[in-house]
């Protein structure tokens, strides 16, 4: 008995855990965490971070040595061996400029990540709302089937009593069969969307998707417009070009080299000099003459500025496209909200009309076909309302992507 109780508790706990995290917000988090493109960009960002650590550092010092096969005689002895150490030093600010370029490249990848992340969020919302629409439509058709089935019962009684025509009953059964087919069709479409949704989440295609069967109320306007990641990508690229030009200019300046050479002297036998056999130390300083690097640097700067000009044109075009998309989507959303209000009002009025028609039909003042037509009108308005509510959510998701 105790084991059975523990087993039941484990099942309930598992159901509770599985039931949690099934909101759109949680599905979005899952999609972001499991998206392979985002994971790839994260690895690139990590790589750019390592690049920052590897630049902006001095080159390794060079140590060299030599042995005089034929010793060179000096006043204090023969030169036998020489050791040299040298260190190259770039122009002041060159290393900092190199690090600035690497940091800018990392920032570009971070902007790409934010852009791709927005795309994943948008795709997740779009599929989620399509699944939601199909499930709500399925519920609408099932509710209508329930109404038709009840009508079939009392209509069959009225036919048996001679108060209604068999034609009315046949018409109703045609509608019932049509709605049953619609329920199956909607369920199949919902399953197809759920498979695509699970693929987006990078998990088993048969995983259950938990979707509420009611639309939430939306705000009609989104006012907090911010910089779009696609624009920030262009700005970050421009910053990289600026840093690259600064680095090229630094590298056009002379480079320095400092070092020292230590020469081992073999003393002369019998020499009375006090410094006989004294080793020699020479301090070395060098400077490069940037004859060729200037020409190369000028060509690089021209290339950088051409790329910057291209970015300016690209940014202007992108901003115009985003503005046009924002205005167009906002207008569509306003129209959709008006349609939602209209369909809600039509549903209320149609429900009132149906109540009157049912009373008049039962008293023989109206034919059943008029009642059936009004039922179909109500169903059509419910379908259009669901369609408009889905559209409003999709348009809102697009505005959130564009802002």
pLDDT single digits (tens) 171-180: 889 988 998 9
Query: Does pLDDT of 388 surpass 90?
Result: yes
- Nearest Cα to Cα of residue 390 among 345, 352, 321, 339: 339
DSSP letter, residue 61: P
CATH number at residue 227: 1.20.1600.10
Q: Are 347 and 381 in contact, with CB atoms under 8 Å apart?
A: yes
Q: pLDDT per residue over 93-134, tens digit each? A: 888 999 999 999 999 999 999 999 999 999 999 999 999 999
pLDDT band at residue 339 under the 50/70/90 scheme: very high
DSSP states along 271-301: ---TTTT--EEEEEEEE---HHHHHHHHHHH
Query: Greater confidence, 168 or 261?
Result: 261
Q: E strands within 48-175?
A: 62-74, 77-89
333 in any annotated domain: yes
Displacement of CA 383 from its chain's centroid (Å): 32
CA–CA–CA angle 56, 259, 53 (5° rounding):
15
Query: Does pLDDT of 20 surpass 60?
Result: no
Q: E strands within 113-194?
A: none
> Cα-atom radius of gyration of the chain, to the nearest Å?
40
CA–CA–CA angle 254, 255, 260 (5° rounding):
135
Q: Are 124 and 27 in contact, with CB atoms under 8 Å apart?
A: yes
Place of tokens 């167009």: 328
Phi/psi region, residue 55 (left: phi>0; alpha: psi -120 to 50; beta: rest), is beta
269 in any annotated domain: no
Query: Greater confidence, 222 or 229?
Result: 229
CA–CA–CA angle 140, 142, 145 (5° rounding):
110
- By CB atoms closer than 10 A (0-12, 13-18, 19+), residue 29 is middle
- Nearest Cα to Cα of residue 211 among 146, 144, 139, 145: 139
Tokens encoding 340: 């939602």
18 in any annotated domain: no
pLDDT at 9: 45
- Helical pair 94-160 and 166-200, crossing angle rounded to 10 deg: 160
Query: Greater confidence, 270 or 113?
Result: 113
pLDDT at 311: 93
358 in any annotated domain: yes
pLDDT at 12: 42
Question: In whole angstroms, what is the distance from residue 74 CA to residue 81 CA?
Answer: 13
In the chain, pLDDT over 90 holds for what percent of residues? 50
284 in any annotated domain: no
Q: Which has the minimum average pLDDT: 83-87, 162-166, 215-219, 335-339?
A: 215-219
- Nearest Cα to Cα of residue 191 among 204, 179, 205, 180: 205
Average of per-residue pLDDT across 138-145:
91
Residue 267 Cα distances to 78, 258, 270, angstroms: 7, 29, 9
For residue 44, give its domain range.
Answer: 25-57+90-130+209-255+290-402
Contacts 24+ apart (CB under 8 A), 168-173: 168/367, 168/368, 168/369, 168/372, 171/368, 171/369, 171/372, 172/148, 172/368, 172/372
Q: Which has the minimum average pLDDT: 25-34, 94-103, 243-252, 265-274?
A: 265-274
Average of per-residue pLDDT across 72-87:
88
Query: Does pLDDT of 25 surpass 70?
Result: yes
Q: Mean of the per-residue pLDDT values for the chain?
A: 86
311 in any annotated domain: yes
Start-to-end CA span in the chain (Å): 59
DSSP letter, residue 267: P
pLDDT at 225: 57
Query: Does pLDDT of 37 surpass 60?
Result: yes
Q: Are 62 and 86 in contact, with CB atoms under 8 Å apart?
A: yes
Query: Does pLDDT of 1 surpass 80?
Result: no
Query: Greater confidence, 281 or 17?
Result: 281
pLDDT at 398: 93
Average of per-residue pLDDT across 62-88:
88
pLDDT at 10: 43
CA–CA–CA angle 14, 19, 21 (5° rounding):
115
pLDDT band at residue 7 under the 50/70/90 scheme: very low
Query: Total structural domains in the chain?
Result: 1
Contacts of 52 (CB under 8 A, 6+ apart): 99, 102, 103, 106
pLDDT band at residue 226 under the 50/70/90 scheme: low
- Helical pair 94-160 and 36-54, crossing angle rounded to 10 deg: 170
Phi/psi region, residue 219 (left: phi>0; alpha: psi -120 to 50; beta: rest), is beta
- Nearest Cα to Cα of residue 398 among 158, 228, 176, 250: 228
Query: Does pLDDT of 43 surpass 90?
Result: yes
Question: In whole angstroms, what is the distance from residue 306 CA to residue 300 CA?
Answer: 10
pLDDT at 220: 60
73 in any annotated domain: no
Query: Does pLDDT of 33 surpass 90?
Result: yes
48 in any annotated domain: yes
């Amino acid at each position: 008995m105790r084991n059975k109780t523990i087993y039941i508790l484990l099942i309930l706990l598992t159901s509770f855990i599985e039931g949690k995290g099934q909101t759109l917000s949680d599905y979005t988090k899952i999609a972001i965490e499991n998206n392979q493109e985002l994971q790839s960009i994260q690895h690139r960002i990590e790589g750019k971070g390592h690049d920052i650590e590897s630049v902006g550092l001095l080159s390794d010092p060079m140590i060299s040595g030599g042995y005089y096969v034929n010793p060179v005689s000096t006043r204090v002895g023969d030169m036998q061996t020489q050791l040299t150490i040298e260190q190259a030093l770039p122009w002041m600010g060159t290393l900092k400029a190199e690090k600035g370029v690497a940091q800018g490249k990392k920032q570009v990848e971070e902007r790409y990540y934010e852009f791709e992340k927005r795309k994943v969020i948008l795709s997740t919302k779009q599929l989620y709302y399509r699944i939601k629409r199909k499930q709500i439509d399925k519920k609408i058709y099932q509710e209508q089937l329930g109404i038709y089935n009840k009508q079939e019962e009392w209509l069959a009684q009225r036919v048996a009593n001679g108060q209604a025509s068999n034609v009315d009953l046949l018409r109703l059964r045609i509608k019932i069969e049509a709605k049953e087919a619609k329920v199956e069709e909607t369920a199949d479409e919902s399953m197809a969307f759920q498979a695509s949704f699970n693929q987006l989440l990078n998990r088993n295609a048969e995983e259950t998707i938990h979707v509420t069967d009611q639309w939430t109320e939306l705000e009609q306007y989104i006012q907090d417009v911010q910089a779009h990641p696609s624009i920030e990508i262009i700005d970050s690229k421009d910053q990289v070009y600026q840093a690259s030009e600064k680095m090229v200019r630094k590298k056009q300046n002379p480079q320095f080299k400092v070092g020292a050479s230590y020469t081992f002297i073999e003393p002369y036998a019998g020499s009375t000099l006090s410094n006989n056999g004294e080793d020699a130390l020479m301090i070395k300083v060098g400077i490069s003459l940037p004859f060729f690097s200037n020409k190369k640097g000028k060509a690089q700067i021209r290339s950088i500025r051409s790329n910057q000009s291209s970015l300016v044109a690209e940014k202007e075009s992108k901003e115009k496209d985003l503005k046009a998309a924002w205005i167009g989507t906002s207008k569509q959303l306003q129209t959709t909200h008006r349609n939602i209000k209209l369909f809600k009002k039509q549903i209320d009025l149609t429900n009132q009309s149906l109540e009157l028609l049912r009373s008049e039909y039962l008293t023989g003042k109206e034919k059943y076909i008029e009642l059936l037509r009004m039922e179909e009108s109500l169903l059509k308005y419910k379908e259009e309302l669901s369609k408009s509510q889905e559209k409003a959510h999709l348009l809102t998701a697009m505005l959130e992507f564009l802002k």
